[in-house]
A and B are shown apart, each in its own frame.
Chain A
Amino acid sequence: MSPTPKWKPRGEMTLLNTGYARLDGPDKVTGRAVYSHDVRLPRQVYARLVLHSYPRAELTSLDLEPARRIPGVVLVEAQKAAGDELVYLGDDSIVAYVAAETPEAAKDAARAVRAAFRDHYPPMVTREQSLSPGAPSITGRGNTSGARDRGDEAAVDSALEGAAVVVEQVYELPIQHHVCLETHGHVVDYDGESATCYASTQAVSGSVDEFARNLGLPADKVRVLTPVMGGGFGAKFGIGLEGAICCLIAKKLLRPVHLMLDRPQEFQMAGNRSGTWVRMRGGIDAQGRLVGQFAEVDRLGGTGGGAFPLMPYIYACETNAARTRSVHTALDSNRAMRAPGHPQASFAQESFLDELAYAAGLDPVEVRKVNVESDVYRRHLDVVADAIGWDAHPNRTAPGEAGADGWAEGIGFGLATWRAGGRPGCEVEVRITPDGAVTSSCAVQDLGTGSRTLVAAIIAEELGLPLSAVTARIGDSDLPPSVGSGGSVTTGALAPALKVAAHRAREALEQRLVPVLGAEVGDYEWVRGRVRVAGEGDMTMSFGEVCALLGNQPLSVRGEYDGSLDADGSLHGAQAARVRVDTLTGRVEVLDMVATHDQGIPLNRLALTSQINGGMIQALSYGLLEERVLDAEMGWLLSDNLESYKIAGPKEMPRLRVILDEDDGRNLATGMAEAPVIPGHSAIANAIFNACGARLRSLPFTPDRVLAALAERA
């Protein structure tokens, strides 16, 4: 028996490396899938948080009695006491919580709570307010933190003396929301001795301890269930204060408690992608090579630190320096969000490099190629440039002009990077019964990415079975453990464990075949539901007949992560966008987006393409529409629902094309979550400039900004 299996060559795979639909698709589109939000248990109560609507307010009095008088109300409790300051707009805004027999009664009760406040203006919700002279300290620890100087700014300026062109500009990105379709929350069913927690979480195994701690139970008395979930994007790791309160209520009432945030609460307290302010200064030589780059970065993560990777981002520049810090505002902390910090860095770096290229009269694709270290990027740039039609495009070294009709068309580019592969932490059980039923089990969650389908597919591939012959069980902490889904690790962590378990299951079955068919373990071929001795003519036994050899004892094997089966090192990618701009109205239409990313083995081409499409769509939405709007005088979140916090819809969708990288020779597993979301908005901004010379240095690219940038050019 071989202790370490290897992935088959791609050409020999019959299911993996093809495209196949997700197993739970029909349940999801027909509404049969039961999300945490949908859980309804006997005796369940509905809990609701009471949030105040602006930060930096001192609670002077709190009257819960009117809420207690609402019919159907079961519980009303204070979260804050008179004299407490609500420091920031977020989970610190929770003044009380209620539970009732119906969601309607809970909402009425939440509104009936009477709270009075003394205001501490200004609300300090913008960078400018926080940095203004004499600004009060929001948390008492100063309004900036984590300041770090790297490199020698003076050396950069010396290097720039030899530059052909030098550019200095400021780029700004607003706070972005995750916009999980399923808002945060849980249903906790606690009976005094044990608990079942229906959690909308990115970490089924990882949530057990936190629920147990909050319920005062040993971890082995807590079961977390997440069979399906409506998106996380990084915001759903911990159980949150809403989870802790849900546990408190459950303990108090000994009844199942349903506590889900509504959309305004979600936008107020469930995390976000940090905003960013970046000043870039640097230059290139006549060949387009970066000779020096300085970046000054303010991460705007509310009370959190914000996220931003090292500069220069992706591109190489020997003489570089950066000054970074967090500037705090009285807003909820940022959380991880799909490639934390990278889309922000991409926008600053890609816009800046683009500005330098055009300032020098150089082709921005060529300038990119000159400044990347990896040939993979040069190859990827060629692929997307070819697909988007760059060579035939009339303006490659200077922006175009609008035609007589006022419309202008342009093309732009951006690159992506992420780490490849997974990490230890997943285990898988494969169970085969004598009647031929195959079950593959892992606690892993499926955020909507297709991990459930993978749990079945790798086993099916190994045993030569159709996908439908394997039952996947996931989203249950009683199953073998899984890593949490963050940092694109799920596939790289899960696929090796599945492969090892599948391999062991196959070998265990082959052992039963030795006395029957005579060949040694490892000398069998499993194809289309039948098995034969390798290379020997006709199929000799069906899968069912093999399983019957198990007698009355089911087969159960486990597999665990094996680092030789997933990729390491880096992932790369390039994206291109073609836009048209109405210079009369400021309308930006994205016509076409093309992406290529290296992905190791395409374990499911459909899921992979869907992930990359999703990345492009999310970046397009970030670039064109998404903006958290606050009233800086009052501290109110004005964009508190999906009417005013706009995300792209069907009519914003361009032609989306994914070109899988067939030249990536790594026959290893890796995920594809973060990389594709990184460069799309940068490519769109660069395409707008290429079209008409309007340089968009802040997101989103709405007509106010586009028209202002056009006026600036003119």
Chain B
Amino acid sequence: MKNFELARPTTLNQAVMALAEGEGAIGGGKGPAALLAGGQDLLTELKEHLAEPDTVIDLGRVPGLDAIERDGAGNLTIGAMVRLHQLEEHGAIREQMPVLAQAATSIASPQIRSVGTVGGNLNQRPRCWYYRNEASVCLKKGGLACLAAVGRNKYNAILGGGPSYIVHPSDLAPALIALDAEVTLVGPEGERRMPLADFYLLPREGGISTETVRRPGEVLTKVHVPAPAAGTRSTYLKFKERESYDWALSSVALVLGMDGARVNRARIVLGGVAPKPWRVESAERLLEDNEIDPRTVAQVREAALFGAQPLAENGYKVPLTKGLITRALESLA
């Protein structure tokens, strides 16, 4: 990796200013900067020279980012530096938001979950082998075309693709979006809060060199998860080609508000199939005011994959994802 200067700010403001300088949001003439949280994605980017920052800004000494706070109503605020294993082990999350606990548990290995963070997971870069291969100049790295579109694309997008066909690798993002989570971003011009669903960008919406709407200098500091209503059930089903340690070929985050056997509120967000977490509102509407019977399940899974446009080698993701949706619905029925 390229040599870099390690900055160790002790306040959020210092971190934001250092990042803003490195990302050109404010003057100062410093070269590119990168944020270091758990380092599990950044280190792989540094080692492959996909990222070559002059400054690495370690968030480890910035106070206030590493806690999970729960207010009287049961709403959660999760700091960006919270480790993935903390989500797995958190009592309220396990009890009231199994979708989030299961998503956390599905990530990588225990070693990585012990250092990987919530903020890092939500901001990680794609795993597409053309992107990760230093020799290839793919669209996301300034090339002219998405090499996966016509190359080896078994792991690429079937929904929302074009001109890039990456899939977003985060497992937390589909789960959190299904929980209607919001995120706080702090930048040189202040703080803003938005639904996590709005944080991600499709390639055709401008998400080529980035996957998010994060502006230069902005740090994702917190995730806000509203308390689920009484009667909410949820699950995260992830299909890993290698169960021991893998990204999702496809995943389903499912959150259902139930009134007896009847669904009164549904969130279905797919992972591993699109360049961003893929919420399928048309499928959600089919569930609402219905019971989870075979006919509804069949309609929901068809609606969820409506418009899928597989590439040469990833057509299997369509039946696979339908199967996962079926399994997820069955498990909550």
Contact = CB atoms under 8 A, between A and B. Distances in A.
Contact of A636 (B135, B150, B242): B135
B323 A582 contact: yes
B135 A707 contact: no
Given A638-B130, A639-B129, A650-B244, A406 B135 contact: no
A634 interface: yes
A507 interface: no
A638 B154 contact: no
A652 B133 contact: no
Contacts of A702: 241
Contact of A646 (B246, B314, B324): B246
A712 to B, nearest CB: 13
A585 B327 contact: yes
A629 B326 CA distance: 31
Interface in A621-678: 625, 629-631, 633-634, 636, 638-640, 643-644, 646-652
Contacts of A652: 242-244
A466 interface: no
A102 interface: no
B326 A649 contact: no
A463 B80 CA distance: 65
Nearest to A108: B2
B285 interface: no
Contacts of B241: 625, 646, 702-703
A111 B49 contact: yes
Contact of A633 (B132, B150, B244): B150
A708 interface: yes
B259 interface: no
Given A53-B135, A703-B249, A643 B323 contact: no
Contacts of B326: 406, 584
A586 interface: yes
A268 to B, nearest CB: 11
A704 interface: yes
Interface residues of A, number: 34
Interface in B218-266: 239, 241-246, 249
Contacts of A423: none
B322 to A, nearest CB: 8
Interface string A702-714: 1110011001000
Nearest to A587: B239
B319 interface: yes
A634 B129 contact: no
Interface residues of B, number: 32
A640 B320 CA distance: 26
B51 to A, nearest CB: 15
A238 to B, nearest CB: 28
A625 B151 CA distance: 20
A249 to B, nearest CB: 24
A592 B310 CA distance: 35
A634 B133 CA distance: 12
A649 B242 CA distance: 8
Nearest to B321: A585
A504 B207 CA distance: 77
B316 interface: yes
A650 B313 CA distance: 28
B4 to A, nearest CB: 13
B70 interface: no
Interface string B123-158: 000010110110110000000000100111010000
Interface string B99-134: 000000000000000000000000000010110110
Nearest to A642: B245
Contact of B319 (A629, A648, A707): A707
Task: Among A584, A649, A702, find the residue whose CB has the most chain B CB atoms closer than 10 A.
Answer: A584
A601 B314 CA distance: 50
Task: Among B136, B242, B314, find the residue whose CB has the most chain A CB atoms closer than 10 A.
Answer: B242
A101 B293 CA distance: 68
A704 B242 contact: no
Interface string B285-318: 0000000000000000000000000000111100
A104 to B, nearest CB: 8
A708 B316 contact: yes
Contact of B320 (A636, A646, A703): A703
A524 B290 CA distance: 87
22 contacts: A406-B326, A582-B327, A586-B323, A629-B152, A631-B130, A631-B147, A631-B151, A634-B136, A634-B151, A638-B133, A640-B133, A646-B241, A646-B242, A646-B246, A648-B244, A649-B245, A703-B239, A703-B241, A704-B154, A704-B314, A704-B315, A708-B316
A-B pairs with the 9 shortest C-beta distances?
A649-B244, A584-B323, A704-B316, A585-B323, A53-B135, A651-B243, A651-B244, A638-B129, A646-B242
Given A644-B129, A704-B313, A704-B316, 13 more contacts: A53-B133, A54-B135, A406-B323, A584-B324, A586-B320, A629-B152, A630-B152, A634-B136, A649-B242, A651-B243, A704-B154, A707-B316, A708-B316
